[in-house]
Amino acid sequence: MDRDSEIDTPAKLRSEEMLLLSSVGGEAMLATLDAATKSVAQGYTTAQSNPASSKQSFTDAVASLKTYMGQVKAKAASGQAAPETAALLIDFTNTLIERIAFEAKITDPLVTPGADGSTRVVEFYRSLSQQYFLGVDLGERATLDKGGAGGDWVRSGASFMAWVDQPSAPSNTVPVCRFYGVPVNGPTSHYFTASASECAALKTDPKWVYEGIAFRALSLVNGACPSGMVTVTRVSKTGTTPAAAGRPAARSPSPARW
């Protein structure tokens, strides 16, 4: 996951404001700030190995910093801290909270692989263009969470399990090809297909750029899925605009058949 080097930001605040805090008898405030620093460090440390724990650590850090702000305000209200000192500390802390809350938001809890080697595919939606996108790569997902690719992308809440590479996938899976419309001439959308013939045809279509295999999935057998699997249905928006978008629709964590 793409991270900025912000791990010591609360520690920097602690260092820069040590004298100010000490001058108002802020030992308890320093302890609260230390708790926030440890939570942030834990959040970054576990971002890859345990995203759910990482997200909780960032959330805990925000809670500690809010407690810290309450302590600062109490000192100011009791006359133990100058208003300008309290204002400076609160301003710094608000900046930290905004940053850490954003880290909690982009920490991806949907990365734990399935017991069968499958990976969760996450659906994004962009209301400005009424488009959907399937994100498998953590870097791409983080980019969309951060406001990239035109912004306005949010997680729809839909997801399903599939396989990223052939070695980890069952032998009877098929590749799901991913295409993107050629700028200006092609549709401003991604397109996914598990059909070998459709994939081959689109590779020769000048309006589409082949971006590779998005993931692997099982094909339907006689139009149905066996027990434990979920059907992922592709729905395309019709119309005359070049922004026609396709949406694979599934809301189950079970491995997908396509």
125 and 243 fall within a common domain: yes
Residue at which a domain ends, from 106, 134, 156? 106
pLDDT, tens only, 161-213: 899 888 888 888 899 999 998 888 878 889 999 889 999 999 999 999 999 99
| Together in a domain, 93 and 145 | no
Looking at per-residue pLDDT, the higher value among 159 and 105 belongs to 159
- Of 212, 211, 208, 219, the closest CA to residue 244 belongs to 208
Query: What confidence score (pLDDT) does residue 35 get?
Result: 85
Domain ends where: 45, 75, 106? 106
More confident residue, 238 or 255: 238
Calculate helix-pair angle for 9-16, 83-106, nearest 10 degrees: 170
Q: Residue 1's pLDDT band (boundaries 50, 70, 90)?
A: very low
Per-residue pLDDT at 16 exceeds 70: no
Same domain, 159 and 50: no
Judge if 100 and 141 occupy the same domain: no
99 and 136 fall within a common domain: no
pLDDT higher for 258 or 251?
Answer: 258
Q: 73 lies in a domain? A: yes
- Rounded to whole angstroms, the Cα distance separating 34 from 245 reads 48
Has residue 71 been placed in a domain?
yes
Interval 237-252 mean pLDDT: 42
Q: From the CB of residue 71, how many other CB atoms can be counted at a distance below 10 Å?
A: 21
Is 99 a domain residue? Answer: yes
| Whether 28 and 72 share a structural domain | yes
Judge whether 4 lies within some domain: no
pLDDT exceeds 80 at position 44: no
140 and 224 inside one domain: yes
Indicate the pLDDT class of residue 231, thresholds 50, 70 and 90: confident
Task: Give the pLDDT confidence of 71-122 residue by residue, as tens digits.
Answer: 888 888 888 777 887 888 888 888 888 878 777 766 777 777 788 888 889 9
Give pLDDT, residue 116: 84
pLDDT at 246: 45
Distances 40 to 5, 14, 28, 68 between C-alpha atoms, Å: 11, 13, 19, 15
Whether 230 maps to a domain, the answer reads: yes
Q: Is there a single domain that holds both residue 102 and residue 125?
A: no
Enclosing domain of residue 227: 119-257
Give the pLDDT of residue 249.
38
Would residue 114 count as lying in a domain?
no
Count up the domains in the chain and report the number: 2
Same-domain status, 239 and 142: yes
Cα 114 to the center of its chain, rounded Å: 18
In this model, does residue 133 exceed pLDDT 50?
yes
The yes-or-no verdict on residue 247 having pLDDT over 50 is no
Range 234-239 contact pairs with CB under 8 angstroms and sequence separation of 24 or more: 234/192, 234/193, 237/130
Question: Is residue 52 scored above 50 in pLDDT?
Answer: yes
Does 2 fall in a domain? no
Q: Are residues 166 and 237 in the same domain?
A: yes
pLDDT-based confidence at residue 2 (cuts at 50, 70, 90) = very low
User: Is there a single domain that holds both residue 144 and residue 95?
Assistant: no
Domain presence at residue 3: no
The rounded mean pLDDT for the chain is 77
User: In whole angstroms, what is the distance from residue 78 CA to residue 169 CA?
Assistant: 64
Question: Do 34 and 101 fall into the same domain?
Answer: yes
Lowest mean pLDDT among 27-31, 129-133, 186-190, 207-211: 27-31
Contact between residue 135 and residue 122 where contact means Cβ atoms under 8 Å apart: yes
